[in-house]
Chains A and B, each alone.
Chain A
Amino acid sequence: GGIITQTPKFLIGQEGQKLTLKCQQNFNHDTMYWYRQDSGKGLRLIYYSITENDLQKGDLSEGYDASREKKSSFSLTVTSAQKNEMAVFLCASSIGQGANSDYTFGSGTRLLVI
Chain B
Amino acid sequence: GDSVTQTEGPVTVSESESLIINCTYSATSIAYPNLFWYVRYPGEGLQLLLKVITAGQKGSSRGFEATYNKETTSFHLQKASVQESDSAVYYCALGSNTGYQNFYFGKGTSLTVIP
For B106, the chain A residues whose CB sits under 8 A away are 42
What count of chain B residues pass the 8 Å CB interface test? 28
Q: Which of B13-21, B44-52, B67-75 contacts A (4 or more CB under 8 A)?
A: B44-52
A42 engages B91 (CB within 8 Å) = yes
Stretch at the interface among A12-20, A78-86, A103-111: A103-111
Cross-chain contact A99 with B45 (CB below 8 angstroms): no
Does chain B have a CB within 8 A of A26?
no
A111–B4 alpha-carbon span in the complex (Å): 25
Contact A97 B100 (CB under 8 A): yes
Q: Is A87 an interface residue (CB 8 A)?
A: no
A-B pair number, CB within 8 angstroms: 72
Contact yes or no, B4 A42, CB < 8 A: yes
B106 to chain A, nearest CB (A): 5
Check A99–B44 contact: CB distance below 8 A: no
How many A residues have CB within 8 A of the partner chain? 28
Does B60 sit within 8 A of A, measured CB to CB?
no
Q: Are A99 and B107 neighbours in the complex by a CB distance under 8 Å?
A: no
Complex Cα–Cα for A100 and B34 (A):
7
What distance in Å separates the Cβ of B115 from its nearest Cβ neighbour in chain A? Answer: 26
A41 touches B101 (CB 8 A): no
For B8, the closest partner residue in chain A by CB is A40
Contact indicator B105/A105 (Cβ below 8 Å):
no
Query: Does A31 sit within 8 A of B, measured CB to CB?
Result: yes
Closest Cβ neighbor of B46 among chain A residues: A105
A45 contacts B47, CB within 8 Å?
no
Whole-angstrom distance from the CB of A58 to the nearest CB of chain B? 6
Please judge, given known A-B contacts A4-B45, A104-B47, A107-B44, whether A99 and B105 are in contact too, CB under 8 Å.
no
Question: Who on chain B is nearest to A43 by CB?
Answer: B105
Residues of B that sit less than 8 Å from A by CB? 4, 34, 36, 38, 44-48, 51, 53, 91, 93-108
